[in-house]
Structure 1
Amino acid sequence: MTRKKQDGRTSDLTFSWVLTSLGQEWKIWQQFASEWLLSKHNGIHERIHALIIFFEDYLKNKAPYAYDINLFFKGYKGHICSSKELETVVRIRLNRATNVTKAINYPTEFIDYIITNYYSEPNDNGHLSPLVQNPLSRISKRINQSATRTETVRNPLPYRYIQDLRQILCPLPHKSELLAIENNLKSGEALLPPYYYRHFKHWIWSQSGNEPYRVCRRPLFLRECPDEKSKIHP
């Protein structure tokens, strides 16, 4: 641990520590990493930290054959690198979801850079076509399962169901009524949306003095039910 703190890796923009820690055979990776980082203008420290984990904790231990970068893309003796395996390694060192996500997505971005610049060639249309596939893939931020949920786990009500229910409880004005309202508007006054002209007094059940319609919820349709066989569903 002391050696790692003294080799200046957390501020080394050239990744020279890769050659001393992993070996000279990793020189191509060191050159690509230095070149990739040079093209970035923000998040430098986070990118360096992500590649430290990627190189020393992941490639060195899980895919030591990857010093041959071609084998990194092809796999070796049945082993193929993946974001899932990388995430397992990352979580040993990091806990926060945001940090874990960056520690996976930055190496993925790094590999994409290598593919675009060194493992692609123009197709018939002049567009770059990758010759290899990135074994890593970006992940989204994963919320801790123990965190409090702020959204319902139930399926939302269909919008048509809500429209039908609203029309039963308080029907909107018919075209003829809207036309009459429009004719009685003051000069320069515009016609407002139909629901503006509906109030509590227009609710059918409020006029009859009875309880509201009892509604049975069914997929894709709405129907009235006898009182003794129905309940009001939320």
Structure 2
Amino acid sequence: MTAPGLTRFAGRTALLTAAASGIGKATAHRLAAEGASVLVTDVDAEGADRVAEEIRAENGHARARRLDATSPEEWTAAVEEVTSWTGRLDVLHLNAGRNLPGPAHELDDAAWHDQLRLSLDSVFYGVRATVPLLRAARGAVVVTSSVHATLGFRGFPAYAAAKGGIGALVRQLAVEYGGEIRFNAVLPGAVVTALWAHTPPEYKDLTIARTPVGRLGSPEDIAAAVAFFASDDASFVTGQNLLVDGGRGISSQE
């Protein structure tokens, strides 16, 4: 997505996790289009490289590196790269997560811990590693949560717990760091990513029927909300969890 006339991130640096595809990729393009120097990270190093190359082809500024967002050591290395590259960090978009369905009585320990570790622990590790740079820049952190944080869907206990935890953590961090760093979360509804290629058509149709705007979301829809929270347009907004779901969260289940 381009943003004609917008240069809200000129001279600023952004680091994004899970940015090789989907919401992270769209957000990397959006921030770069508005002038940011973007460090694209993902466990898929080749995918991150492709996104960075796309941004550079559009005359943007981007680098890529592999980052396991659950590894404190890899976070340290990523921070070192940002420091040596631009010397600052203004925007942190924490986008890593995994959804492994299964009711609680069928979910094994590994699946439970894996989802909490990737979706929730990664936020803690990312914030802990980047606070010094973000404080210096009076920066902004935006976390990708989910509509699952506010609505119950059968078969997703670990995912819902992790995303609900993000909401509480964002509020806590917003208070903890006051006027130094802003923290907000976006809560996407049904967004067309690679996952939907394996989703039964009848479920897709039902989801659209229960979404007041009458369509599924796009990664660019979420990227626009992330860019708002990350920008000075939201300078008086912190500790918020914003549903970006086409109205799904206010719609009846019928």
The TM-score with structure 2 as length reference comes to 0.24
The TM-score with structure 1 as length reference comes to 0.25
Which is richer in strand?
A: 2
